[in-house]
Amino acid sequence: MARGIQNADLAKKIANKVEPAHMKHYGNEQVSIIRQSSLKSAVETTLNWYKTQDEVLELKQVTELTLLVAEEFEKWVNR
């Protein structure tokens, strides 16, 4: 059975300094979520654009344009 805290002041100081476990990677998780969402939206956007084009582009061109669009979406979200 747990006993009460003997040094409440020390416990309070420690609690103020310790970052909660679920917050340690919060920033990185948010960046990953934004990037993944931006990339997904860019793929959907460029796919719809390519469907309207008569010209067939090389995979490298498609990839570069999709990544550029994803980067712009990410910048917009982070503004």
| DSSP H or E run through 33 | helix 26-51
Q: Indicate yes or no: pTM above 0.75.
A: no
In this predicted model, which residue has the larger pLDDT, 37 or 30? Answer: 37
Specify if 29 maps to a domain: yes
What's the structural domain count of the chain?
1
pLDDT at 67 over 70: yes
Specify if 8 maps to a domain: no
Please tell me the predicted confidence (pLDDT) of residue 18: 65
pLDDT at 49 over 80: yes
Specify if 6 maps to a domain: no
In this predicted model, which residue has the larger pLDDT, 51 or 34? Answer: 34
Please tell me the predicted confidence (pLDDT) of residue 2: 47
Specify if 67 maps to a domain: yes
Specify if 42 maps to a domain: yes
Distance in angstroms (rounded) separating the CA atoms of residues 50 and 42: 12
Which domain range does residue 42 map to? 23-78
Hunting for tokens 């009460």 — which residue is that? 4
Specify if 27 maps to a domain: yes
Please tell me the predicted confidence (pLDDT) of residue 23: 60
